[in-house]
Amino acid sequence: MELWFTEKHTPHVNFSIKVDKQLYSGQSEFQRIDVFESREFGRILALDGYLMLTEKDEFIYHEMITHVPMAVIPDAKKILIIGGGDGGTAREILRYKSVESIDLVDIDEEVAEVCKKYIPQTADSLNDPRVNCYFEDGLKYIRHHENEYDLIIVDSTDPFGPGEGLFTKEFYGNCFKALKETGIMVNQHESPFYPADAYAMQRAHKRIFDSFPISRIYQAHIPTYPSGHWLFGFASKIHHPILGANWKKWKALNIKTRYYNPKLHVGSFALPNYVEEIVREV
């Protein structure tokens, strides 16, 4: 019998990947965690039935959420990742020698444990001595930090379930406070394509826009995410995401990437008209 992983993208659209077998299934205190093995996409991590990453295309998401802000502040030393328990974002950040420490705050320790066992491609990074893992709610963690981080990356689940608080005005305001004067916050910003997702992304954008003086959206093509068209938010206190990029320094680091490059960095901020309209309505 054929086995398929299927995610409901809308009440009328399903996305399916044929899988060879299920490697893990368990219910944590916060969510259901599943890992599948597939021929086309390698291993797949799903939380509550929603696809979080596949081994084949995770590089796109993790490079774009990391190198876009790091090209602007390539000397960043202290990084906070909220969510990101699969380790993919930490892996990319660890490629910068300037980084002294990464505080990774994921609500669910079991995600990290399962990924260490089944998806070492991303989760090996969590064993690095520069990574400090805290297993608690990011919404609560951020309340107690001020003027501390160069970069905050919000690598969360979607705005429902445990991730809901990470899309609130309170959270973004506290991220602003936790950043240094030159700080940047980047977040996964949902898809603009299907109306329910577009509404969530518009609401999040408005809250970030109201919390930071500089706030822009950029995009990437991620084949296994709903519609394949994914957005990220870039918010900062002083840095413009394109004019502020330090290409000389970034290129000198000689970091080999498979998706990200400086031309794509610039182009990723050029949005299709229909997305501009959603953003302009804010």
Residue 162 is assigned to a ligand binding site: yes
Q: Does 103 bind ligand SAM (CB under 6 A)?
A: no
Nearest Cα residue to 173 out of 136, 207, 216, 215: 207
Contact 49, 33 (CB under 8 A): no
Would you give the DSSP letter of residue 31?
Answer: -
CA distances from 41 to 54, 166, 220, 272 (A): 6, 28, 18, 28
192 touches ligand SAM by CB under 6 A = no
Integer Cα distance of 164 and 157 in angstroms = 8
The answer to whether 202 is annotated as binding is no
Q: Cα(15)–Cα(266) distance, rounded to whole angstroms? A: 30
Q: Which of residues 53-72 bind ligand SAM (CB under 6 A)?
A: 53, 61
Give the nearest distance from C-beta 29 to ligand SAM in angstroms: 10
Closest CB to ligand SAM among 72 and 105? 105
| Residue 224 lies near ligand SAM (rule: CB under 6 A) | no
Binding residue for ligand SAM (CB under 6 A) from 69, 162, 226, 233?
Answer: 162
Do the beta carbons of residue 105 and residue 81 sit within 8 Å?
Answer: yes
> Residue 249 CA to chain centroid, in angstroms?
24
139 binds ligand SAM (CB under 6 A): yes
Active site (annotated) includes residue 155? yes
For position 156 contacting ligand SAM by CB under 6 A, the verdict is yes
- Is residue 215 within the footprint of ligand SAM (CB under 6 A)? no
Q: Pick the closer one to ligand SAM by CB: 235 or 242.
A: 235
* Annotated catalytic residue, options 57, 108, 150, 155: 155
CB of 158 to ligand SAM, least distance (A): 7
Residue with tokens 């490059």: 261
Using CB under 6 A as the binding rule, whether residue 52 contacts ligand SAM is answered as yes
Are the C-beta atoms of 55 and 17 separated by less than 8 Å? no
Min separation Cβ 197 and ligand SAM, Å: 12
Q: What angle do CA 67, 73, 74 make, to 5 degrees?
A: 65
Most distant CA pair in the chain: distance in Å?
Answer: 57
Catalytic residue positions? 155
Q: Using CB under 6 A as the criterion, which residues of the chain lie in contact with ligand SAM when the complex forms?
A: 52-53, 61, 82-86, 105-108, 111, 137-139, 155-157, 162-163, 165-166, 188
